[in-house]
Chain A
Amino acid sequence: EPEVTQTPSHQVTQMGQEVILRCVPISNHLYFYWYRQILGQKVEFLVSFYNNEISEKSEIFDDQFSVERPDGSNFTLKIRSTKLEDSAMYFCASRDRDRAYEQYFGPGTRLTVT
């Protein structure tokens, strides 16, 4: 069964450093998403991406964040200058064109900013 994969599973970084979180969505999917979940809190939407551009983004997704689809398989989230409050689980999700209700989530990357 196809699945969304994410690397690394755990990333530790120092405050102010740049991090890139990587995702490989399901191969025939066209819509891509990033969410985050701070420990003990809700899963929060960050950004959606379709046709090589951002479709929608939340207030959390400020200028420190960027997304890219550098090739036909990867989807990345970059945080330019990490803050302590960026520590969270980051989930990538994808869906196909026709099923708006069916976002498939990856296992997540745990980001720890020290």
Chain B
Amino acid sequence: QKEVEQDPGPLSVPEGAIVSLNCTYSNSAFQYFMWYRQYSRKGPELLMYTYSSGNKEDGRFTAQVDKSSKYISLFIRDSQPSDSATYLCAMSSNTGNQFYFGTGTSLTVIP
């Protein structure tokens, strides 16, 4: 059973669109939920994190966690060509020792 599942895409949207990225998971011990952005052949860059359930907003980005459904989302408003990258969800238990990553969703924002 896979710990974290994420649709790999690719996802292609016009500039200005709202983007919705999602992950599901199976381990109810996960408490920390992160979204990373990764450009080709670079290291993952932390975008946002959420602890337990709820929403968090940071500029054009909103992260949502629904622990009852074991489902997390990242919304990007007013998407820009510079948002084109692979977006990885990651999760961990309270210890934070081990992050479990999704496969990543490749996003292209077309000008």
A interface, CB within 8 angstroms of B: 4, 31, 33, 35, 41-45, 48, 55-56, 58, 89, 91, 95, 100-108, 110
Asked if residues A105 and B41 are in contact (CB atoms below 8 Å), the reply is: no
How many A-B pairs with Cβ below 8 Å? 59
Check if A103 sits within 8 Å of B46, measured CB to CB. yes
Interface residues in chain B, defined as those with a beta carbon under 8 Å from any beta carbon in chain A: 32, 34, 36, 41-46, 49, 51, 88, 90, 92, 94-104
- Of A42, A45, A55, which contacts B104 at CB under 8 A? A42
Decide if B94 touches A45 in the complex (CB within 8 Å): no
Instruction: State whether A45 touches B103 (Cβ < 8 A).
Output: no
Cβ of B64 to closest chain A Cβ, rounded Å: 16
A59 to chain B, nearest CB (A): 12
- If the complex has contacts A101-B49, A101-B51, A103-B46, are A45 and B96 also in contact, measured as CB distance less than 8 A? no
